[in-house]
Amino acid sequence: MRKILFTAFVLTVTLGYTQVQDHDGNTFKTTQIGDQTWMAENLRVKTFRNGDKILHAKTKEEWLKAGENKTPAWSYYENKEENEAKYGILYNWYAVNDDRGLAPEGWRVASQNDWYKLHKYLGSNYAQNLRTEGDQWFDGPAYLSKNNTNSLNFNANGAGLINGKIGWIALKESSYWWTSTEFTSDKAIHATIGYGTRNIGIADQNDARAGASPETPSSKELGFSVRCIKN
C-alpha cells in the first residue's frame, strides 16, 4: 500500500495574498472571491500527493501517445521550463482525474459548478477583473486588452494549451482550465477566458447557466491549465 504524504498548509500574507504550499513544495498565492478561496496561480505540481511522478511529455508525439494510452501527463508550454513561472504547466484530464490527487490536501481541482458559482457571484462583463495586466496577453485594442485590472487577484493569464496532433497553441490568446467534471468517456468540461472576452466560457452538458458563454466539452487528451479551490 502506498504511503500517502499529507502536506500541511503554509499560510502567510504577502501583498494582500494568502499562500498555500503543495506537496512538491511549491508555494501558491490564493485569493478570496465571495465565499470561495481560489489559488491565484495555475497549478505546477509534477507528482501526485502520494509522491508518484506524473509523466513529463516533452514533445507533441509523446503528448498524443499519453492521451491515447490514458496516461496522466504534464508539459511546459513548448516544453520550455522558463514558461513555468509565468504560466504554470499544462495537464491532460487523466492527471486531473487520477485518484492519487493533484491538489494539495484540503484543496480540490475546481469543478464545473465551482466555475459557475464564480461567474454568478461576479455577474457579467467582468473578465477584465480576472485577467492579469502586462505582457501575459496579446496587446490588442484598448477596449479588449488594456482594460485588464486583475482587481480580484485571480491572475488569469494567456497560458494556451497543447494538442497532441498540432502542438502548443494560443499562448497569450486564451487560458483554458480543466474542471474535475467529466462529460463522456472521452470528453470533460473546461472553463476558458480569452484575451478579449467579457465572460468566462464554461462547457455545459445542456446550455449556459447564469449568462456564462457556452463551450463545447473537450477531448481528455488536451493539455490545459488547472486551478484549485479550497474545500
pLDDT at residue 163, as a whole number = 96
pLDDT at residue 81, as a whole number = 97
Task: Flag whether 124 is in a domain.
Answer: yes
Grid coordinates 484575451 are at which residue?
195
Exposure on the CB side of residue 211, measured as CA atoms within 13 A = 12
Instruction: Provide the 10 A C-beta neighbour count for residue 139.
Output: 12
Question: Which of these ranges, 70-79, 95-104, 139-148, 156-165, has the smallest mean pLDDT?
Answer: 139-148
Task: Please state the domain count of the chain.
Answer: 1
Task: Flag whether 144 is in a domain.
Answer: yes
b/e 37-58 (16+ beta carbons within 10 angstroms → b): bbbbbbbbbebbbeeeebbebe
pLDDT at 6 over 90: no
Residues 109-130: pLDDT tens digits?
999 999 999 988 887 668 888 9
Question: Which of these ranges, 4-8, 25-29, 215-219, has the smallest mean pLDDT?
Answer: 4-8
Task: Flag whether 2 is in a domain.
Answer: no
Task: Flag whether 185 is in a domain.
Answer: yes
pLDDT at 22 over 90: no
Task: Flag whether 1 is in a domain.
Answer: no
Tell me if the pTM is above 0.75: yes
Provide the residue range defining the domain that includes 127: 13-230
Task: Flag whether 171 is in a domain.
Answer: yes
Distance CA(35)–CA(196), nearest Å, equals 27
Task: Flag whether 8 is in a domain.
Answer: no
Higher pLDDT, 7 or 91: 91
pLDDT at 158 over 50: yes
Task: Flag whether 4 is in a domain.
Answer: no
